[in-house]
Amino acid sequence: MVYPYHLPLAVAVTGHRDVAPEDEAQLHALVKNRLESLKNEYPSTPLLALSGLAEGADMVFAEAALELGMELVAVLPAPREVFARDFQKPTYPARTAEDLTQRFHNILARCSDRVVVGEGRHAQEPDRYTYVGAYLVRRCHVLFALWGGAEPDSEGGTGHVVKLAREGVPNRYRESPLRALDSPDPVTIHHLISPRKGAAVENAFTWKIMEPAEWAAGACRAMPANPLSALESFNKEACAFAARHPNAIEQSKGYLGLPEEELTRAERRIVHGYAIADAMAVDCRDKSNRTLLVIYGISLFMLLGFAVYSNVFPHTWLHAVYYVAFLLGCGLYVWDKWKRVHMRYVNYRGLAEGLRVQLFYRLAGVRNLAADLYLRKQRHEMAWIRQAMRALEAGPRRNEPQSAVVLTRWIKDQADFFKGARVRDAKKIRWFTWYARVGFWAGLFCGLLGLFVEIGNYAAHDSILLHWLFMLMGVFPAIAALIGSYVHRRGLEQHVREYDKMGAMFCQAAELVECDGLMHKNLCTHEEHMPERQKHTGFQLLVRELGREALADNAQWLMLHRELPPTLPSS
């Protein structure tokens, strides 16, 4: 069963417009079979189809997707009425303008959403389709290329879009500029060798799969090499989790405080993705923390058992209990590692926070994609997360920014959260520090007391009193060391520093908006050369910068905790 909270696998299409009418039926059947294969390969993951709805391959793909009940998003190079003029000159005489136009409107009517890309930024004909191709490549996991295989001879053509998928999208077609050393995100290309008007091709109507080279080894041991496998794993778990804990998902959705009826379809998709990722992250966090606490509890029990056995009561059953506890601790550690509870918690938390930023970017009218703003060193480890974020984002943006909602439900809410979280974790550190100090001084006291008793001949050297005192002299400092190790494994000190920094940043942002009237100021001097509709207001620039900092903090937290899974205690 597919729940509405699943993350979609986005499949886009590029292809020739001059597909022969007699070839359409065969292409339709091949595309439909390949889409069915993807559905069977990733049964827990819903497919989201993206098409430019141009004549030829785009329409063939769109009709096949609709036949399979897939959600279809139309990505148009111009408003509907303007784009429909392209059908006045069909590429084949066998097609009439009236039939093509009617076919276009029939498909468009069944689309769940429609996006007009690059509007107002270009006027030349080739540019229109390059913006469409760039949009599709940037938001899809898999690109269907119904293409003869010839090298690109013009921008906006099928070969050029395939090149964008393999080599990356230039900055002029991106919402966020690609830095010089950034590598393009991987896109799987399913190439259906397709004949076109006036050109014969070898091996026509056969498939060729082009997968990114980095999938062979994987960028991170914590996740599968193929991001699509990671996506399927997430959705499979989401299916089981939603059946067991529907209230937890609703609670996570409630944290955002956004009425769904006031959101666009893409925004609702992001909210649902956030809700399931957040709820699953909380569940995995609780399991991981319990596992860590039990492992340290077992370690403490082993320490006490060994100390009593070797110093006070040398009974065989105590020796046996020590090894039973040891095996239990090791078994729990192996179970946690096998189930990847901690790693799932870290990745789901990273996904949830990334989607939170992306959602409020859309509500504020910020055109950047949050997935583009992670630091270079964090990009490979978060490949599947960033791809999932971009796929959820497919859809038109709202016309009027919801600045007041962003201020209340994100900036102020996050300021309060970070302040509260800092106080909470600082209090935990104070208590743990106090316990550790008590352990250290108690050990010192027991040692000095034992020395006093032995020097003063108040008890014999092998008396039970001295055995207990000298045992406790070692046990109490060992307990203090265990407490210090536990605090380190929880990352509490790093949390407090990050919470303090982020809380101050969100508080300052809220003050800037409320006290300086930033919501209505235009401070975008560096955007003066851009068309008016593309400029960001001062408030939007502030939101963009806050999101960048939040994502950097989120990625730093993610990388820290990947190195701090539950493990056997160490100093």
User: How many Å apart are CA 351 and CA 360, to the nearest integer?
Assistant: 15
Is a pLDDT exceeding 70 seen at residue 75?
A: yes
Weakest-pLDDT range from 79-83, 93-97, 421-425, 499-503: 93-97
- pLDDT tens digits, one per residue of 430-447: 999 999 999 999 999 998
Place 565 in a pLDDT band, splitting at 50, 70 and 90.
Answer: confident
Is a pLDDT exceeding 80 seen at residue 552?
A: yes
User: How many Å apart are CA 129 and CA 137, to the nearest integer?
Assistant: 12
Q: How far is CA 62 from CA 49, 71, 190, in A?
A: 7, 10, 16
- pLDDT tens digits, one per residue of 264-280: 999 999 999 999 999 99
pLDDT at residue 253, rounded to an integer: 93
Residue whose pair of structure tokens reads 């309060």 in the numeric block: 416
Q: What are the domain boundaries of the chain?
A: 9-217, 253-563
Is a pLDDT exceeding 80 seen at residue 120?
A: no
The helix (H) or strand (E) run that includes residue 10 is strand 9-15
Contacts of 8 (CB under 8 A, 6+ apart): 45, 46, 47, 48, 71, 269, 391, 392
Place 180 in a pLDDT band, splitting at 50, 70 and 90.
Answer: low
Place 526 in a pLDDT band, splitting at 50, 70 and 90.
Answer: very low
Is a pLDDT exceeding 70 seen at residue 539?
A: yes
Quick one: average pLDDT of 207-213? 86
Secondary structure letter of residue 562 according to DSSP: H
User: How many Å apart are CA 330 and CA 483, to the nearest integer?
Assistant: 19
Quick one: average pLDDT of 385-393? 91
Nearest to 123 by CA among 558, 551, 531, 552: 531
Quick one: average pLDDT of 41-51? 96
User: How many Å apart are CA 459 and CA 476, to the nearest integer?
Assistant: 22
Residue 183: strand, helix, or coil? coil
Weakest-pLDDT range from 80-89, 366-375, 540-549: 366-375
Q: How far is CA 163 from CA 33, 126, 157, 174, 184, in A?
A: 25, 15, 10, 15, 11
Q: Find how far residue 367's CA is from the centre of its chain.
A: 19
Which amino acid makes up residue 70?
M
Q: In what order do the strands lie in the sheet with 188-193?
A: 113-116, 71-76, 47-51, 9-15, 142-147, 188-193, 207-210
User: How many Å apart are CA 57 and CA 54, to the nearest integer?
Assistant: 7
pLDDT at residue 119, rounded to an integer: 63
Is a pLDDT exceeding 70 seen at residue 219?
A: no
Name the fold adopted by 9-217: Rossmann fold (3.40.50)
Comparing 529 with 424, the larger pLDDT belongs to: 424
Comparing 94 with 10, the larger pLDDT belongs to: 10
Contacts of 429 (CB under 8 A, 6+ apart): 487, 492, 493, 496
Is a pLDDT exceeding 50 seen at residue 222?
A: no
